[in-house]
Chain A
Amino acid sequence: MEQLLQHLLNGLLLGATYSLLGVGLTLVFGLMNVVNFAHGEFYTLGAYAVFAALVGASIDFFVAIPLAVMVGAAAGAICERCLLRPLRGASIDTIMLVMIGLWIAMQNAELLGWGGVAKSVPTPFPSRPVVFGPVSVSLLRIFVFLVSAALILGAHLLLARTKLGRAMRATFQDRETAALMGVQVERIHTVTFALGAGLAAAAGALLGPVFLVYPSMGDLASLKAFSVVILGGLGNFVGAALGGLVLGVAEELGAGYVSSGYRDAVGFIIIVAVLLLRPSGLFARAERVG
């Protein structure tokens, strides 16, 4: 029982970062219709940015994280301007292949820049866990959970309540009409992609200190983000947030009770099962699959 509680807690804490990853991807994949295979690379970029800021420039931990998010968002904006804008109107498959190219290029650029050895990020939090009755948890994990939740809530409010958010939703629903209403649609594309990339970088910046930072860490992050998005339903913001928690808990339980070697298979199995059995996602009301 205590073990189960511990697994559930760990799963929820981890799941919040998966939600963050998924929310960023669901914006880009669901709204912009860009199959962003480079999503995990922005996650990696965020993690390395934190590492560089902390170890290279000895910037404070709590400053380094927002800095890393900005680096990710800026990289996203550049990618959108240089790669996606010229291909507006190209088929979704061409754009998908371009994103695969970007994924490979970014990952190997990181490998060249930082080397293949995994790096650990120092944090100001004590390594000794805090004990709450039957379960124990490290302060860093709690911090990561809280920041993730705050970012997801912030992105949700941005999308649902602000003028910018309305412009985003309008642009991707009906580009022409939005443009006629005075929305600068090209800028909205760039901002949306940058937001998605920034959220991915935030997840990387938060999880980098929890785990280790290495060039191929983005591969699994991409797949987890995709499984979260598929679980939640394409473009479904709340679905992605819940999907992340489900994936986190499922992984913890799978690793705890089945086999830790197959931990990363949980995400794959979720993708396969959801796509085959309920392709619109667990939390969807209407069916829609392209």
Chain B
Amino acid sequence: MKRLAVVVVLAVAASAPAWVWNPYHLHTLIMAGIFAVLALSLNLLLGYTGQLSLGHAAFFGIGAYATALLTVKLEWSPWIGLGAATLVPAVTGWVIGRLALKLRGAYFVLLTISFAGVISLVSVNWMDLTNGPLGLPGVPPVEIALPGLPRLSLRTKSAYYYLVFAAVVGCYLVCLALIRSRVGRALIALRENEALAESVGIDGTHYLVLAAMMSAGMAGLGGGLYAHYTRFVSPEVFLFSYTVTMVIMVVAGGKGTLAGPVVGAVIFTVLPEALRALTSWQWQMLLYGILLIVVLFFMPKGIVPTLLEGRRRA
């Protein structure tokens, strides 16, 4: 039953470019995929370690800038760019994790906000590197150049969709492997009872830093994918609303589950686009705020766990 459901979901998602004709709808799906990567990334921290990072837009933005700078200024291959978009934020996440994960709860949140604030100010003010508020236009499209075959440019939406789709599946599998491993069990033990976990020999800081590093790398990959898709990077990638959107997706979808963030990402990308005809962006953010409160009041576990529980009970 469960296996069948997975196959159906994968088949529907993989064949989407064949039956989604409207390019705008396909664009929405691509954005949903990028946000799924981001939500999976935030969920590693918020869902499995219980630490809320409100600076996740920083890793997203660093990833976007890493690949944009390498491909625009040095004209390196976008593949190296995407690698750097994962690696540079991962290293940053490791450093931030080493420093910040001495703290827990509200203090960790404040530290991550501050980090994102500083990075955002740097992106605006360091004109020589980032071009300041003007941003970096002309990020090249991703190309696949296999020996013996003609160059395949992922310039079209349907081709890019598959790249993003592969990234979502990849990130999902990485998360799955992590959660099922010793590391995952250690993280969950730390989330549930840190003192107890440490008393049986789990090195709390070590595992939390590892989770922070992987989470940051994944968020950076999301940023890299975003940069090569929109082909333009500006300090707007550091906007706090990106972080807020990720938090809503994870909390509403179901933190601490793997399907939850993905479902949350799809719902909260498709829904606002569907409502766009009716409402403006400000209404959308207002609704996000109210919805976050409503979900916490009435569905504190999130959509996916609540639905699963309901099915089990029935």
Given contacts A93-B52, A279-B103, contact A261 B124 (CB under 8 A): yes
Distance between Cα atoms of A92 and B107 in the complex (Å): 12
Given contacts A272-B114, A290-B104, contact A105 B121 (CB under 8 A): no
Question: From DSSP, what is the main secondary structure of chain B's interface residues?
Answer: helix
Interface string of B102-132 (1 = CB under 8 A from A): 1111110111011101100100110000000
Contact for A105 among B52, B107, B240, B289, CB less than 8 A: B289
Distance between Cα atoms of A219 and B114 in the complex (Å): 12
A18 interface residue (CB < 8 Å to B) = no
Distance between Cα atoms of A223 and B206 in the complex (Å): 29
A176 vs chain B, min Cβ distance (A): 24
Q: Verify B283–A102 contact, CB threshold 8 A.
A: no
Please give me the residue from chain A that is nearest to B244 by CB atom. A104
Q: Verify B247–A109 contact, CB threshold 8 A.
A: no
Chain A residues in 8 Å Cβ range of B244: 100, 104
Interface residues of B, CB < 8 Å — how many? 40
B242 vs chain A, min Cβ distance (A): 13
Chain B residues in 8 Å Cβ range of A227: 114
Distance between Cα atoms of A261 and B118 in the complex (Å): 11
B282 interface residue (CB < 8 Å to A) = yes
Question: From DSSP, what is the main secondary structure of chain A's interface residues?
Answer: helix
Q: Verify A259–B125 contact, CB threshold 8 A.
A: yes
Q: Verify A223–B113 contact, CB threshold 8 A.
A: yes
Contact for A101 among B107, B114, B115, B296, CB less than 8 A: B296
Distance between Cα atoms of A86 and B296 in the complex (Å): 11
Given contacts A96-B109, A268-B114, contact A276 B288 (CB under 8 A): no
B interface with A by C-beta (< 8 Å): 50, 52, 54, 99-100, 102-107, 109-111, 113-115, 117-118, 121, 124-125, 240, 244, 247, 251, 280, 282-283, 285-286, 288-293, 296-297, 300
New A-B pairs, 14, CB < 8 Å, besides A98-B292, A100-B54, A223-B114: A92-B105, A93-B105, A101-B290, A102-B293, A104-B292, A105-B286, A107-B289, A264-B117, A268-B117, A268-B121, A269-B114, A271-B113, A275-B107, A275-B110
